[in-house]
Amino acid sequence: MPEKFDCIVVGAGPAGTACAYELAKAGVNVLLLERGEYPGAKNVMGGVLYRKMMEDIIPKFYKEAPLERPIVEQRFMMMDKESAVTFSYKGLEWGREPYNNFTVLRAKFDQWFAEKAVEQGALLVCETVAVECIVENGRVVGVRTDRPDGDIYADVVVLADGVNSLLAKQLGFHREWRPDEVALATMEILKLDKSIIEDRFNLEQNQGCTIEIFGDATKGIVGTGFLYTNKDTLSIGVGTLLSGLIKHKMKPYDLLEYVKNHPMIRPYIQGSEPVEYLAHLIPEGGYHSIPKVAGHGVLVVGDAAQLVNAIHREGSNMAMTSGRLAAETIIMAKEQNDFSESMLDQYRMKLMESFIGQDLKKYKDATHHFERFPQYFEQYIPMMNRAASQMFTVDGASKWEKQKKIWRDLGSAKQKFKLARDMMKAWKVMK
């Protein structure tokens, strides 16, 4: 392996591979390092890939990529212990080109994506850990790996090594993340016949459905459960802030078992067989937690830069776009032979001007707000379900009487005022 490259990318997830692909396509000599046995071996996401951001990198990728199902319906379930208020959008246009999003299995997709980067000219080296950045005169000039004689040099290094980016931390780009800045997601892949999946989720062939689950799925902790349809498997999981798990002294796999056995979820997965269990930390600090992303000879992308929209459960799309923007900046820097922080800071500006920076800024206070005020999950979702039950139960009482009872059940005037104030606060952090 050559000792010097134009660029070293650490991490072959969506962000790192997107960066390596764009660089290699432009003729840049790039090394892509992956600590796992293969790309995707140590990566987890909910299972949804958004078409637009991937197609910005590989047009018509969906004609050959190992995708599961194009999503035609997105459901949102507000769940209590024995009830659920569900609303959804189903659009058959999403089942045709150019599509909106797809379910994927990362172990398959990440390998395919990395192979496409290799086809463009990137050198992929797996089972290799970058243990630290090599810094000379205040500038990153390479990485030290766990291989014998493992020092590798480059004009610029891209850190795509995930939420616990030890390399970025070593450089002083971020501190240790607080428990309220990361979520722990646990997920199982459940084997189930494809015809049963289509019957249970009201789908036709080559159609998929996602269900995002709020409320009792997380027992009042800020987070969500999810259930996604693949070709012949289901992805089911739950992700909650680490701070909530610590506060409630709850084990993540116990929470996942609770969701799987919930009466609103159990019928969907009945008869399925677990084939894989996954757990992963997800950055959810949002806008206020974005670390330094550009330095002398170094850029930070994807999860390592806290680029996840926790409200809309978007991460892979932001990761890929950040990798692409980093590549654009590096190509520009190479043309001018300038890898200084002032030049590479163009990446930060591109990032903040893109949908990534704009969306993270829009929801900059949302996650912390809902953690500070747990009544949204613990009280208001059950309250909404009770109101729906009251309104839709036909028992001889008039609808006027039912509305009056629902209003009385909201509590005293003080409690109603608090509810109204909380709804206004929620609107402000989400608008």
355, 356, 362, 367 alpha-carbon torsion, rounded to 10°: 150
CA 9 to CA 171: how far, in whole Å? 16
pTM of this prediction exceeds 0.75: yes
Q: How many CA atoms lie within 13 A of 274 on its CB side?
A: 10
Q: Which of 224, 249, 269, 233 is nearest to 75 (CA)?
A: 224
What do you get for the CA distance between the two ends of the chain, in Å? 51
In this structure, are residues 225 and 76 in contact, taking their beta carbons and an 8 Å threshold? no
224, 235, 270, 383 alpha-carbon torsion, rounded to 10°: 10
* Burial letters 98-137, b for 16+ CB under 10 A, else e: ebbbbbbbbbebbbbbbebbbebbbbbeeebbbeebbbee
Alpha helices per DSSP H over 201-336 = 242-248, 252-260, 266-269, 316-335
395 DSSP 8-state letter: S
Task: For residue range 160-179, list pLDDT tens digits in order.
Answer: 999 989 999 999 999 899 99
E strands, 51-176, where?
69-79, 84-90, 101-103, 123-125, 130-136, 139-145, 151-159
Q: Which of 10, 17, 8 is nearest to 339 (CA)?
A: 8
In this structure, are residues 109 and 66 in contact, taking their beta carbons and an 8 Å threshold? yes
State the average pLDDT for the chain: 93
The per-residue pLDDT for 221 is: 87
pLDDT beyond 60 at 196: yes
167-to-31, 144, 153, 415 alpha-carbon distances in Å? 17, 10, 15, 49
The per-residue pLDDT for 72 is: 97
The per-residue pLDDT for 141 is: 97
Query: Would you state the structure tokens that stand for residue 30, as one six-digit string?
Result: 């790039």
- Max Cα–Cα distance, the chain, nearest Å: 82
In this structure, are residues 85 and 385 in contact, taking their beta carbons and an 8 Å threshold? yes
Q: Does domain 182-283 have CATH number 3.30.9.10?
A: yes
The per-residue pLDDT for 377 is: 85
Phi-psi region of 79 (alpha: psi -120 to 50; beta: other; left: phi over 0): beta
Burial (CB count within 10 angstroms: exposed 0-12, middle 13-18, buried 19+), residue 408: exposed
The per-residue pLDDT for 42 is: 66
User: Domain 4-66+105-174+291-353 falls in which CATH fold?
Assistant: FAD/NAD(P)-binding domain (3.50.50)
Which residues, 6 or more positions from 94, have their beta carbon under 8 angstroms from its beta carbon?
70, 71, 72, 100, 101
pLDDT beyond 70 at 96: yes
Q: Which of 123, 181, 179, 178 is nearest to 152 (CA)?
A: 123
Residue 192 — very low, low, confident or very high, per pLDDT cuts 50/70/90? very high
Task: For residue range 65-89, list pLDDT tens digits in order.
Answer: 999 999 999 999 999 999 999 999 9
Per-residue pLDDT averaged across 359-365, rounded?
Answer: 93
Using alpha carbons only, what angle is made at residue 255 by residues 278 and 368, rounded to the nearest 5 degrees? 95
Q: Which of 325, 359, 306, 303 is nearest to 56 (CA)?
A: 325
Using alpha carbons only, what angle is made at residue 430 by residues 429 and 431, rounded to the nearest 5 degrees? 105
CA 167 to CA 114: how far, in whole Å? 22
